[in-house]
Amino acid sequence: MVQAAGEVKEQARRLAAEMIEASEADLELDTARGTWQVRGDPATALGWGQIAQRAGPEGLAADARFEASAPTFPFGAHLAVVEVDTETGKATLARHVTVDDAGRILNPVLAEGQRHGGIAQGVAQALLEEVRYDADANPLTSTLVDYAAITAPELPSFELVASETPTSINPLGAKGIGEAGTIGSTPAVLNAVIDAVSHLGVRHLDMPATPERVWAAINEARAGQ
């Protein structure tokens, strides 16, 4: 997109120079008004629509291809604080702090939403979501009535710490953020649950850490002691 936009911009510069009868080097793009003009002379301004008409039936267009020379690697860290009721085994996420570095952020609103959604999905995987079958391989969690999907009451307000380390692999400096929330939150939350009951002798829990599973692990550990 960056390459194509640059080519379209140069096409517009050439056409505007012809229309104004000025040197291409003397033209500037007023991004606030969306016009091309001779530098310092607003009276010569031409809009994008006028220039596109001059371009003919094909308008202003470009076909560009970009191939990255290497992969880009986003990175981050997640910290979860969990409270566990040792009588019932219920684990509650009390706090979740995360740093996700995806390079230069182009749309902060979408990036924040992606992080929030990813964290919620990762927490659900750690605490609730499980596809279960009976002895005959019939699914027991075939609808949302049976399958434990996470909802707002089970989640705290996530604390998102900003970090931007642009990559040199592309001209935007952007990396991916698609699965950042899910990758970090799941192990952070599960490890927090194990840590919360480790003083009772629990060293391992299979996901999801449901109340039944946590309660059983606590009682097994106590019986072993």
Specify the amino acid at residue 67: E
Q: Could you give the CA distance from residue 36 to residue 44 in angstroms, rounded to a whole number?
A: 8
Mean pLDDT for back-to-back runs of 10 residues, the chain (225 residues) = 93 95 93 92 92 91 92 94 96 96 94 95 95 93 88 93 94 90 95 96 95 95 84
pLDDT (0 to 100) of residue 144: 86
136 burial via Cβ count (<10 Å: 0-12, 13-18, 19+): exposed
Q: What pLDDT score was predicted for residue 145?
A: 86
Report pTM: 0.79
Q: What pLDDT shows up at residue 148?
A: 87
pLDDT of residue 221: 92
Which run of H or of E encompasses 47? strand 41-47
- CATH label, 75-224, candidates 1.10.10.10, 3.40.50.170, 3.30.365.10, 3.40.50.11720: 3.30.365.10
Contact between 28 and 37 (Cβ < 8 Å): yes
Residue for token digits 């990255």? 68
Q: Where are the alpha helices (DSSP H) in the chain?
A: 2-20, 48-54, 108-127, 180-197, 211-224
Per residue, the 3-state secondary structure of 84-129, as one string, reads: ECCCCCCEEEEEEEEEEECECCCCHHHHHHHHHHHHHHHHHHHHCC
- In angstroms, the CA 97 to CA 63 distance is 42
Contact at 8 Å (CB) between 222 and 86?
no
Q: What is the pLDDT of residue 12?
A: 95
- The ranges assigned to domains in the chain are 2-54, 75-224
